[in-house]
Chain A
């Protein structure tokens, strides 16, 4: 039996952030009960076993009472030593809540910090301020969490290079085990998108400088830059996410969750209302039951995100493209084939050749 990973999506948020295009909805708390019941139903049908990782993401999973998670975990057969992550937003948690999570087995916490600058947090439409982040982090440590991630976003409207340096400094002062660093992307359908060109964003040169500054600083601080946007203290790389990048097997439950089993992909309906009808469950079970090979294109473009790279065999049939990219200085080949620093910044140009 292959090791399996499970993703559980919690699409509830207190308020929609201005940059957010995830499957998350504000003001639908009345559907929580029914939603969780559907999730439980879905899990009962899919009967995942030997789970090596579980990831509860959102949305804001920390809006849900621990008793629901307890109910869910009871259904799961979790392998010993498994990684159990949960995303939490500062301003929605306290020490006792976190303790309960810890008690039912959650052992990795991902905090959506985004920025330590109150002005920027407000522009992003976050519900918390910098103080809430410190408090949540302390609470998490007090509750016994020893594997904590912080999400940060750079290239925010009006953000200067110094603002960003300060954000990183604050983040490092907490000594998290893991950091995810994202360049702000303005996606269609978000409030930022609607503002359009009037949104005062840093120039491309400034964005590159911020990203490079983060890479250098975090390396110096002992972090392992293991994926385009992810940094970890050695040994704290997120096992669950690595499964995605290695194009491995995972089941997704909940609205909008994606599954990838034996080369088959299945996406759940995006909205809460559609999801709780759970009409496609049998389709999903049938589809995921097929035996298929994972898509080579996906294996390459997801796999190259891991900075250690991919073994040469995975590029079979793409020798010409690999050579071209090596000549252009975007890929390099040692024991594995991987992105160069320049290739990292231009990763899409690399991936395109394999699509």
Chain B
């Protein structure tokens, strides 16, 4: 047996819905293969970022190599390439899948298949990956493996006999899973002697070592001291180190066709080693790059501004740093009359936005104002031009355009049948168009709607969750632009327009949202020593007004010798609270106010 033979390599990923047990299963596999000792194991090795662990999702792809002695007497190298489980990260899923020949499709026996899992399974099939269906958590009293089996049959045409039943928690079925990986997933194709072609499926910036490039080698061999070229960016580097991905980076003398590993080559900028690009031998270039994947297109936008103007530089550096490890994050500087200098950022979805914001605040200790997220509008101008608007303030005057188009989604929802009525109501309110409905099994239904993206990014997910007690799951895909009757709603605080609060909304909802927004702002903005009027207007027409009455009294009554320290602290606290607000004209506006539009109950 030759350890390094391409026939003994298996590259796979795991497709699963959040909480269905992907991390637990991965841990068991690492344990059983002795990649990691049981007692050393910090639960769930694959999710390394704290934030991910807290939110229970994997954001960045990562890979890990296991050695497995199979029943056939051979040793195999198994590379598990992790995939993010959330719909916002479909793009990252597709890039992990492109590096694999197979995927474990993991479904919770008590929950059944969820919409995103199904979407990712289709994606894997489209990549011609071998699917190994696994029904997990069979130890649970509420497990219904037969029902889930039926679902897998109807939705994906999976045969009963192919399914492996596991309890990752108890370690049951792990042997079967490993054997199936070896037996069912084909070894990689490719030739170690051909011209080098390696697919970059991820990259990460390391402060000490520069960019670490994660690759799957399809053809050829890559070794230290070799000159490589990234075919897309045409940048050339000399390889310093290659190796495989265990819990740490483990250097080796080469990476050959079929293998998964890392390259360190003195790359300073992640942009030079773009995910999806192909690594070639600079002295013997391959004719064609590997089929990459579509670059991620940001779909949701918002502005980020530092509360303290002088933090702009810190914010700039922070976003740049984050982008090093997050190719999908888009940003460009923008200026707001109300908020000063900041950035317009683009994200794959709302969750992506929230994670980036949280990381900026937490890891870089920034006080941030995020403006309400919006989508990108297509405006058909009177002069025949089409322009794209990613910021409500940049919307041209109605006199200058014929129509506005907004991006629309096809949203697929899986739900227990009893919630169909609730969901239809939500979709109706969100300006949805019914497409179709299908029974997955006697109890579960798939519903499809067409919805404006703008409606989906704002609290749609929360509404869905509460209307179905968390039992529904959804997936979405962009289907294109559609003309819609949209207007721009402006907000004036103390008679000054606050650009950062403008939003684009459907005309029919404009009055209602204007009123609700003014009310909400009245509650959010603290009282000042003068009366603060809040107005919502469409064009020059004021559609709502609320007044924040002036503060008349704020005085500590009793203050003697024993009170000095305490009262000083109290005043300091009041003052600190004020400092975290943004001063707009003469009014201090708290961070939450800029997201008020998200909290309007519809």
State the Cβ distance, A76 to closest chain B Cβ, in Å: 18
Our pick among B564, B575, B578 for the contact of A260 (Cβ within 8 Å) is B564
B572 at the interface (CB under 8 A from A): yes
Q: Do B552 and A256 touch (CB < 8 A)?
A: no
Q: Do A302 and B564 touch (CB < 8 A)?
A: yes
Interface residues of A in 230-251 (CB under 8 A from B): 241, 243-244, 250
State the Cβ distance, A23 to closest chain B Cβ, in Å: 8
A229 at the interface (CB under 8 A from B): yes
Q: Do A355 and B572 touch (CB < 8 A)?
A: yes
B558 at the interface (CB under 8 A from A): yes
Q: Which residues does chain A contribute within 8 Å of B572, judged by CB atoms?
A: 355
Known: A328-B529, A346-B529, A352-B571. A211 touches B565 (CB 8 A): no
Interface residues of B in 523-581 (CB under 8 A from A): 529, 551-562, 564-565, 567-568, 571-572, 574-575, 578
State the Cβ distance, A147 to closest chain B Cβ, in Å: 18
Q: Do A265 and B555 touch (CB < 8 A)?
A: no
Question: Can you add 16 more A-B contacts, CB < 8 Å, to A211-B553, A265-B564, A352-B578?
Answer: A7-B561, A182-B558, A204-B552, A207-B553, A229-B557, A229-B559, A302-B564, A345-B553, A346-B551, A346-B554, A348-B554, A348-B571, A349-B554, A351-B571, A352-B575, A355-B575
Our pick among A252, A348, A349 for the contact of B562 (Cβ within 8 Å) is A252
- Show 25 residue pairs from A and B whose CB-CB distance is below 8 angstroms, ordered by the A residue: A7-B562, A9-B562, A182-B558, A183-B557, A185-B556, A185-B557, A185-B558, A208-B553, A243-B561, A258-B561, A258-B564, A267-B565, A301-B568, A301-B571, A302-B559, A346-B551, A346-B554, A348-B556, A348-B571, A352-B571, A352-B574, A352-B578, A355-B568, A355-B571, A355-B575
How far does the alpha carbon of A260 sit from the alpha carbon of B565 in the complex, in Å? 11
Q: Which residues does chain B contribute within 8 Å of A349, judged by CB atoms?
A: 529, 551, 554
Known: A298-B568, A355-B575. A348 touches B555 (CB 8 A): yes
Q: Which residues does chain A contribute within 8 Å of B556, judged by CB atoms?
A: 185, 228, 347-348
> Which residue in chain B gives the minimum CB-CB distance to A258?
B562
A205 at the interface (CB under 8 A from B): yes
State the Cβ distance, A321 to closest chain B Cβ, in Å: 12
Tally of chain A residues near chain B (CB < 8 A):
39
Q: Which residues does chain B contribute within 8 Å of A54, judged by CB atoms?
A: none
How far does the alpha carbon of A256 sit from the alpha carbon of B566 in the complex, in Å? 12
A130 at the interface (CB under 8 A from B): no
Q: Which residues does chain B contribute within 8 Å of A205, judged by CB atoms?
A: 552
Q: Do B555 and A228 touch (CB < 8 A)?
A: yes
Q: Do A250 and B561 touch (CB < 8 A)?
A: yes
How far does the alpha carbon of A265 sit from the alpha carbon of B563 in the complex, in Å? 12
Q: Which residues does chain B contribute within 8 Å of A229, judged by CB atoms?
A: 557-559
Q: Which residues does chain A contribute within 8 Å of B529, judged by CB atoms?
A: 328, 330, 346, 349
State the Cβ distance, B571 to closest chain A Cβ, in Å: 5
Q: Which residues does chain B contribute within 8 Å of A228, judged by CB atoms?
A: 555-557, 559
Tally of chain B residues near chain A (CB < 8 A):
22
Q: Which residue among B561, B567, B578 has the maximum number of chain A CB atoms within 10 Å of its CB?
A: B561
Our pick among B552, B564, B574 for the contact of A345 (Cβ within 8 Å) is B552
Over the window 174-199 of chain A, the binary record of Cβ atoms lying under 8 Å from chain B Cβ atoms (1 yes, 0 no) is 00000000110100000000000000
Over the window 493-529 of chain B, the binary record of Cβ atoms lying under 8 Å from chain A Cβ atoms (1 yes, 0 no) is 0000000000000000000000000000000000001
State the Cβ distance, A155 to closest chain B Cβ, in Å: 10
Q: Which residues does chain B contribute within 8 Å of A276, judged by CB atoms?
A: none
How far does the alpha carbon of A190 sit from the alpha carbon of B560 in the complex, in Å? 20
Q: Which residues does chain A contribute within 8 Å of B567, judged by CB atoms?
A: 301
Interface residues of A (CB under 8 A from B): 7, 9, 182-183, 185, 204-205, 207-208, 211, 228-229, 241, 243-244, 250, 252, 256-258, 260, 265, 267, 297-298, 301-302, 305, 328, 330, 344-349, 351-352, 355
Q: Which residues does chain A contribute within 8 Å of B575, judged by CB atoms?
A: 352, 355
How far does the alpha carbon of A348 sit from the alpha carbon of B527 in the complex, in Å? 14
Over the window 436-466 of chain B, the binary record of Cβ atoms lying under 8 Å from chain A Cβ atoms (1 yes, 0 no) is 0000000000000000000000000000000
State the Cβ distance, A331 to closest chain B Cβ, in Å: 13
How far does the alpha carbon of A198 sit from the alpha carbon of B5 in the complex, in Å? 77
Q: Do A347 and B554 touch (CB < 8 A)?
A: yes
Interface residues of B (CB under 8 A from A): 529, 551-562, 564-565, 567-568, 571-572, 574-575, 578
State the Cβ distance, B565 to closest chain A Cβ, in Å: 6
How far does the alpha carbon of A182 sit from the alpha carbon of B574 in the complex, in Å? 21
Q: Which residue among A241, A256, A328, A352 has the maximum number of chain B CB atoms within 10 Å of its CB?
A: A352
How far does the alpha carbon of A164 sit from the alpha carbon of B529 in the complex, in Å? 26
Q: Which residues does chain A contribute within 8 Å of B561, judged by CB atoms?
A: 7, 243-244, 250, 252, 258, 260
How far does the alpha carbon of A315 sit from the alpha carbon of B141 in the complex, in Å? 73
> Which residue in chain A gives the minimum CB-CB distance to B559?
A305
How far does the alpha carbon of A7 sit from the alpha carbon of B562 in the complex, in Å? 10
Known: A257-B562, A348-B574. A297 touches B568 (CB 8 A): yes
> Which residue in chain B gives the minimum CB-CB distance to A298?
B564
Our pick among B555, B560, B574 for the contact of A347 (Cβ within 8 Å) is B555
Q: Which residues does chain B contribute within 8 Å of A244, judged by CB atoms?
A: 559-561, 564
Q: Which residues does chain A contribute within 8 Å of B558, judged by CB atoms?
A: 182, 185, 229
State the Cβ distance, B413 to closest chain A Cβ, in Å: 40
How far does the alpha carbon of A9 sit from the alpha carbon of B558 in the complex, in Å? 16
Nearest 10 interchain pairs by C-beta? A244-B561, A347-B555, A348-B554, A182-B557, A258-B562, A355-B571, A345-B553, A352-B575, A183-B557, A229-B557
> Which residue in chain B gives the minimum CB-CB distance to A339?
B555
How far does the alpha carbon of A355 sit from the alpha carbon of B551 in the complex, in Å? 20
> Which residue in chain A gives the minimum CB-CB distance to B556?
A348
State the Cβ distance, A201 to closest chain B Cβ, in Å: 13
Q: Which residues does chain A contribute within 8 Å of B578, judged by CB atoms?
A: 352
Q: Which residues does chain A contribute within 8 Å of B553, judged by CB atoms?
A: 183, 204, 207-208, 211, 345-346
How far does the alpha carbon of A241 sit from the alpha carbon of B564 in the complex, in Å? 12
How far does the alpha carbon of A240 sit from the alpha carbon of B578 in the complex, in Å? 35
Q: Do A256 and B551 touch (CB < 8 A)?
A: no
State the Cβ distance, B531 to closest chain A Cβ, in Å: 13
> Which residue in chain A gives the minimum CB-CB distance to B570?
A348
How far does the alpha carbon of A302 sit from the alpha carbon of B571 in the complex, in Å? 12
Our pick among B555, B564, B571 for the contact of A344 (Cβ within 8 Å) is B555
State the Cβ distance, B326 to closest chain A Cβ, in Å: 40
How far does the alpha carbon of A349 sit from the alpha carbon of B559 in the complex, in Å? 15
> Which residue in chain B gives the minimum CB-CB distance to A241?
B560
How far does the alpha carbon of A64 sit from the alpha carbon of B553 in the complex, in Å? 38
> Which residue in chain A gives the minimum CB-CB distance to B575?
A352
Q: Which residue among B551, B554, B555 has the maximum number of chain A CB atoms within 10 Å of its CB?
A: B555
How far does the alpha carbon of A305 sit from the alpha carbon of B556 in the complex, in Å? 10
State the Cβ distance, A115 to closest chain B Cβ, in Å: 15
How far does the alpha carbon of A352 sit from the alpha carbon of B553 in the complex, in Å? 14
How far does the alpha carbon of A183 sit from the alpha carbon of B558 in the complex, in Å? 9
State the Cβ distance, A87 to closest chain B Cβ, in Å: 12
Q: Which residues does chain A contribute within 8 Å of B565, judged by CB atoms?
A: 258, 265, 267
Q: Which residue among A207, A250, A344, A348 has the maximum number of chain B CB atoms within 10 Å of its CB?
A: A348
State the Cβ distance, B585 to closest chain A Cβ, in Å: 15
Q: Which residues does chain B contribute within 8 Å of A302, judged by CB atoms?
A: 559, 564
How far does the alpha carbon of A293 sit from the alpha carbon of B255 in the complex, in Å? 70
Q: Which residues does chain A contribute within 8 Å of B562, judged by CB atoms?
A: 7, 9, 252, 256-258, 267
> Which residue in chain B gives the minimum CB-CB distance to A347?
B555
> Which residue in chain B gives the minimum CB-CB distance to A243?
B561
> Which residue in chain B gives the minimum CB-CB distance to A238?
B560
How far does the alpha carbon of A241 sit from the alpha carbon of B561 in the complex, in Å? 8
Q: Which residues does chain B contribute within 8 Å of A305, judged by CB atoms?
A: 559
How far does the alpha carbon of A183 sit from the alpha carbon of B572 in the complex, in Å? 22
How far does the alpha carbon of A289 sit from the alpha carbon of B240 in the complex, in Å? 65
Q: Which residues does chain B contribute within 8 Å of A352, judged by CB atoms?
A: 571, 574-575, 578
State the Cβ distance, B576 to closest chain A Cβ, in Å: 10
State the Cβ distance, B510 to closest chain A Cβ, in Å: 34
State the Cβ distance, B586 to closest chain A Cβ, in Å: 10
Q: Which residues does chain A contribute within 8 Å of B559, judged by CB atoms?
A: 228-229, 244, 302, 305
> Which residue in chain A gives the minimum CB-CB distance to B567?
A301
How far does the alpha carbon of A355 sit from the alpha carbon of B574 in the complex, in Å? 10
> Which residue in chain B gives the minimum CB-CB distance to A180?
B558
State the Cβ distance, B209 to closest chain A Cβ, in Å: 47
